[in-house]
Chain A
Amino acid sequence: MRELELYFGPQHLGMVGNFSITLKVEGDRIREATANPGYLHRGFEKLMEYRTWIQNFPLVCRINVVEPDHMELMYAMAVEKLANLEVPERAQYIRSIFLELSRVASHLFGLWAYANMLGFDTVAQWAMYHRDLVLDLFEELTGGRVYHIYIWPGGVRRDFPEGFQEKIVNTLHSIGGCVPDYDDIFFNNRLFSERAKGIGKVTREEAMALGATGQVLRATGMKYDIRKVEPYAAYHQVPWEVPIREEGDAYSRIWVIRDEMIESVHMIFKLLDKMPEGKVFNRTPNPFKWKIPAGEAYVRCESSRGELGLYLVSDGGDKPYRVHFRTPSYPHGLTVLEKVLKGESIADVGNIMISLYVVAPEIDR
């Protein structure tokens, strides 16, 4: 049969975000796939070398549109490490609660993308609506809906306003009340399981060899989660479980994401119950004169897509010398995707890509 070259994306219904894949196909089967990132390369890491430590906060959250808060956390944690700043206990709890809310919002956005691509329009609209409810919370707390610039070196920018805890609980209850509906119409739906089961299978050995983390690895049964491996913020203060699946296919990855959302909501309730009183930030030096001692730091956290890391170098000046983000979509979208697509059918490309939870801006940076 004749081999054809096919361009999948960036203008394609099954493609979410500006990303493209070049496929070599024979009939309906993919012989070879090449990922083409770069449509969203804005050179953030270079731009950050031109701005002072504090000026970088509005930049850093824009690297990944879907989960800006984990990016802020990474940068704040690295700056704290280099400058030897302490974070108050209450701020650690607020960070965890805030990041878990952001994880729920990000997963709902991911669910929108996945359901939309598979043609489950109702589920997609529900997920988008429920994400908006979480964004309302962010707006009240920080003033911004998508980009918050809330996590700060030495703590968070402000304390919870009056009555905010009840609002979090009410919002999460109203979203959580819809889980049975989501299950009926989507997760337990045969239309979904027939399309996703056995598709895009990654074995554990492959996942480990290709540098995968997050859901890709957890769907193969390994409870690898940086929140447990190297706890940060207040994650070690409350008990919680890491959801896993064994099969390693697209279906199990989406189920891991679903279970993770529910676990996050439970975790927020536990954290809210245990949250101590106190101040929420330690004062930082005058940002115009702030010089950070020379050195380097590698910090990591579990973003909603996997291990997010930051390698930050200071040369003792008022600006970073080098910034390099280790984003989870980078191995998932380049190495894992190219390997997994081999031998699959053209109709499943979008399905596999979104189930790997690839976000293009995070790859390009």
Chain B
Amino acid sequence: MSNSIKENLISSFPDIQVEVPEKDRLKINAEKEEVISILSYLKNKRYGHLALISCVDWMEEKEFELIYILSAYLARDDEYTDRERLNIIIKTRIPRDNPEFLSVIPVYENAEPYEREIHELFGIIFSGHPRLIPLFLEREYEIPPFRKDFDNRQYVKDVFDKIPSVL
């Protein structure tokens, strides 16, 4: 299963790297310009379930990595095939000093809260997103808190040590 998709992908997108690291997983490394077209291509191939959008801060390489994980819903109601077993992991890197990316909501509607979360926790701006407003946090942060240069323990010391103790 993964091999046939791999061949199809390489023939449609010659610039991408496709690996099969283990059974039922397919890893795609793509340039950021190609991500949206790969996602719509795979959606048309019935990989309609966007399970997760994640982000990793590679501080030393001065890059953010965005990860899109796709899988397929059942084609028939009571049949389980290799197609649904497969998870496709699409990865792309964007520069850390200019963290901007296109929103994938036009392709996958349920990307909306994931992008909002990544905007809030990593400070990545998704252009085309209808409401990039805070999701979880209530305070303002100078450095978005999930970046690697944000030091949790220092922050706790700086902010909460200033509150007068009740004792």
Q: Do A and B come from one complex?
A: yes
Residues from chain A with a CB closer than 8 A to the CB of B108 are: 211
Q: How large is the interface on B (under 10, 10 to 19, 20 to 34, 35 or more residues)?
A: 35 or more
Contact of A326 with B69 in the complex, beta carbons under 8 Å: yes
Residues from chain A with a CB closer than 8 A to the CB of B24 are: 230
Residues from chain B with a CB closer than 8 A to the CB of A230 are: 24, 84-85
Q: How far is the CA of A322 from the CA of B24 in the complex (A)?
A: 22
Tell yes or no: B62 within 8 A of A by CB.
no
Q: How far is the CA of A324 from the CA of B113 in the complex (A)?
A: 14
B85-105, CB < 8 A from A: 85, 87, 89
Binds B, one of A87-95, A108-116, A216-224: A216-224
Contact with B along A330-365 (1 / 0, CB 8 A): 110011000000000000000000000000000010
Contact of A222 with B110 in the complex, beta carbons under 8 Å: no
Tell yes or no: B145 within 8 A of A by CB.
yes
Residues from chain B with a CB closer than 8 A to the CB of A270 are: none
Contact of B69 with A311 in the complex, beta carbons under 8 Å: yes
Contact of A46 with B136 in the complex, beta carbons under 8 Å: no
A322 to chain B, nearest CB (A): 5
Tell yes or no: A319 within 8 A of B by CB.
no
Tell yes or no: B135 within 8 A of A by CB.
yes
Which listed residue (B49, B51, B56) contacts A208, Cβ 8 A?
B49
Contact of A222 with B74 in the complex, beta carbons under 8 Å: yes
A86 to chain B, nearest CB (A): 14
Binds B, one of A5-13, A35-43, A174-182: A35-43
Contact of B74 with A223 in the complex, beta carbons under 8 Å: yes
Tell yes or no: A210 within 8 A of B by CB.
yes
Q: Are A331 and B110 also in contact (CB < 8 A) when A230-B85, A298-B89 are? A: yes
- For B49, the closest partner residue in chain A by CB is A211
A7 to chain B, nearest CB (A): 16
Residues from chain A with a CB closer than 8 A to the CB of B113 are: 330-331, 334-335
Residues from chain B with a CB closer than 8 A to the CB of A330 are: 113
Residues from chain A with a CB closer than 8 A to the CB of B74 are: 222-224, 229
Residues from chain B with a CB closer than 8 A to the CB of A210 are: 109-110
Q: How far is the CA of A55 from the CA of B22 in the complex (A)?
A: 27
Q: Are A222 and B73 also in contact (CB < 8 A) when A45-B146, A307-B51, A330-B113 are? A: yes
Q: How far is the CA of A313 from the CA of B77 in the complex (A)?
A: 34
B77 to chain A, nearest CB (A): 6
Contact of B110 with A309 in the complex, beta carbons under 8 Å: no
- For B133, the closest partner residue in chain A by CB is A34
Tell yes or no: B137 within 8 A of A by CB.
yes
Which listed residue (B51, B57, B135) contacts A37, Cβ 8 A?
B135
Contact of B137 with A38 in the complex, beta carbons under 8 Å: yes
Tell yes or no: A50 within 8 A of B by CB.
yes
Contact with A along B106-124 (1 / 0, CB 8 A): 0011101100000000000
Contact of A38 with B136 in the complex, beta carbons under 8 Å: yes
Contact with A along B41-68 (1 / 0, CB 8 A): 0000000111110101100000000010
Tell yes or no: B149 within 8 A of A by CB.
no
Contact of B89 with A208 in the complex, beta carbons under 8 Å: no
Q: How far is the CA of A221 from the CA of B50 in the complex (A)?
A: 20
Residues from chain B with a CB closer than 8 A to the CB of A311 are: 52, 54, 67, 69
Tell yes or no: A238 within 8 A of B by CB.
no
Contact of B77 with A222 in the complex, beta carbons under 8 Å: yes
Which listed residue (B22, B52, B89, B112) contacts A326, Cβ 8 A?
B52
A245 to chain B, nearest CB (A): 12
Tell yes or no: B78 within 8 A of A by CB.
yes
Tell yes or no: B80 within 8 A of A by CB.
yes
Tell yes or no: A321 within 8 A of B by CB.
yes
Q: How far is the CA of A208 from the CA of B73 in the complex (A)?
A: 8
Tell yes or no: A209 within 8 A of B by CB.
yes
Question: What residues make up the interface of A, taking CB atoms closer than 8 Å to B?
Answer: 37-38, 41, 43, 45-47, 50, 81, 208-211, 213, 217, 221-224, 228-230, 244, 296, 298, 300, 307, 309, 311, 313, 321-322, 324, 326, 330-331, 334-335, 364
Which A-B residue pairs are the 8 nearest by beta carbons? Answer: A211-B110, A38-B136, A41-B136, A326-B52, A334-B113, A324-B54, A322-B56, A229-B84
Q: List 5 other contacts, CB 8 Å, given A217-B73, A222-B77.
A: A38-B136, A46-B146, A46-B152, A209-B48, A335-B113
- A and B contact pairs by CB, cutoff 8 A, 21 listed: A37-B135, A37-B136, A38-B134, A47-B152, A213-B49, A221-B77, A224-B74, A224-B84, A229-B74, A229-B80, A230-B24, A230-B85, A296-B89, A298-B25, A309-B51, A311-B52, A311-B54, A322-B54, A322-B56, A324-B54, A335-B109
